[in-house]
Amino acid sequence: MIVSYDQLPRPGAVTVHPCGGSSEDEAAPANSAIAVADSDEADATAPSTEAAAATTAAPTTTAAPTTTAKPTTTVPSQQPLHFEGTGPTVFALDGLITRAVTVTLTHDGSRNFAITSFNAAGARDGLVANEIGPFSGTVLIDSFKLDGAPPASFEVQADGAWTIDIAPVASAPQWDGASPLVGAGKQVYFLPTKTKAQRVTMTHDGTRNFSVHAYTTDRFSSGLLANEIGAYNGQKMMAKDVYLVAVNADGNWSITPG
């Protein structure tokens, strides 16, 4: 049965604050005056005076160039949660998961470690994890985007002590989408700035399934970059505006743009 869970406060959504520029000062209008000569006698005309010099317009002020903010990803907030226990158990989530989240799992047993997600109607959503023996890794829960509802409960199958840490996706390790990304096992990465469409080269040296999903900000759609068994070395186009990258692997892997 479950031992405890905690809810810890976290900051809200990342927002974009575009930089604004200052406007130019308008030039002051130029003024001019003309003096007209007076006549003293009918048969003698005094020479006319010269026109007064026109006022010179004030110089205009040129606004300093502004810096455009780099587009960033806006992420809905989600409270981080912690669950821990020993052996098999079922527990309700009671609406605690409100968004797509990362789930970091540990298990110190020697047999099957599986977590199954169920919806509010009691129907099985799918497997969050299905491992043998000791395990440590991070996965992404996004299945509820299909029916518009988050998971309502978890069923844990384990023979040892386990932990489940649920966190907002923005708290995942960050990747800039431009430099090589190297890791091992199951991992999720958050991309804080929007990316361009580009080619990526992926490698894996494990013996089981290797899959890579790239999620974009367009309604959290997913692109499958790889889905192979065992060792792999190949290339695929990654869409623009990638928001999250979720890697499923049992060995060392790399993702290299360019």
Instruction: Compute the distance between CA of residue 116 and CA of residue 111 in angstroms, rounded to an integer.
Output: 16
pLDDT tens for each residue of the chain, 258 residues long: 433 444 433 333 322 233 333 333 333 333 333 232 333 333 444 444 444 444 455 555 444 444 344 444 444 557 899 999 999 999 999 888 877 899 999 999 999 999 999 988 899 988 999 999 999 999 998 754 544 578 899 999 999 999 999 999 999 999 999 999 999 999 999 999 888 999 999 999 999 999 999 998 765 567 899 999 999 999 999 999 998 999 999 999 999 999
The per-residue pLDDT for 245 is 95
Instruction: Kindly report the CATH number assigned to the domain that includes residue 98.
Output: 2.60.120.340
- Look at residue 254 and tell me if it is in a domain: yes
Instruction: Compute the distance between CA of residue 41 and CA of residue 60 in angstroms, rounded to an integer.
Output: 48
pTM exceeds 0.75 for this model: no
Which residue range is the domain that position 227 belongs to? Answer: 172-258
Do 178 and 121 belong to one domain? no
The per-residue pLDDT for 95 is 82
- Look at residue 31 and tell me if it is in a domain: no
Task: Examine the fold and report which residue of 109, 141, 171 is the final residue of a domain before the chain moves on.
Answer: 171
Instruction: Kindly report the CATH number assigned to the domain that includes residue 236.
Output: 2.60.120.380
- Look at residue 166 and tell me if it is in a domain: yes
- Look at residue 203 and tell me if it is in a domain: yes
Do 128 and 204 belong to one domain? no
- Look at residue 178 and tell me if it is in a domain: yes
- Look at residue 62 and tell me if it is in a domain: no
Do 210 and 158 belong to one domain? no
Number of domains in the chain: 2
Task: Examine the fold and report which residue of 137, 171, 205 is the final residue of a domain before the chain moves on.
Answer: 171
The per-residue pLDDT for 58 is 52
Task: Examine the fold and report which residue of 171, 186, 215 is the final residue of a domain before the chain moves on.
Answer: 171
Do 1 and 94 belong to one domain? yes
Do 167 and 179 belong to one domain? no
Answer whether 137's CB lies under 8 Å from 115's CB.
no
Exposed / middle / buried, residue 160 (Cβ in 10 Å: 0-12, 13-18, 19+): middle
Do 199 and 130 belong to one domain? no
Which amino acid is present at 44? Answer: A
Instruction: Compute the distance between CA of residue 171 and CA of residue 167 in angstroms, rounded to an integer.
Output: 7
Do 152 and 78 belong to one domain? yes
Do 1 and 111 belong to one domain? yes
The per-residue pLDDT for 227 is 97
The per-residue pLDDT for 26 is 36
Do 90 and 103 belong to one domain? yes
Exposed / middle / buried, residue 211 (Cβ in 10 Å: 0-12, 13-18, 19+): middle
Do 248 and 145 belong to one domain? no
Strands of the 242-248 sheet, one edge to the other:
187-190, 242-248, 209-216, 222-229
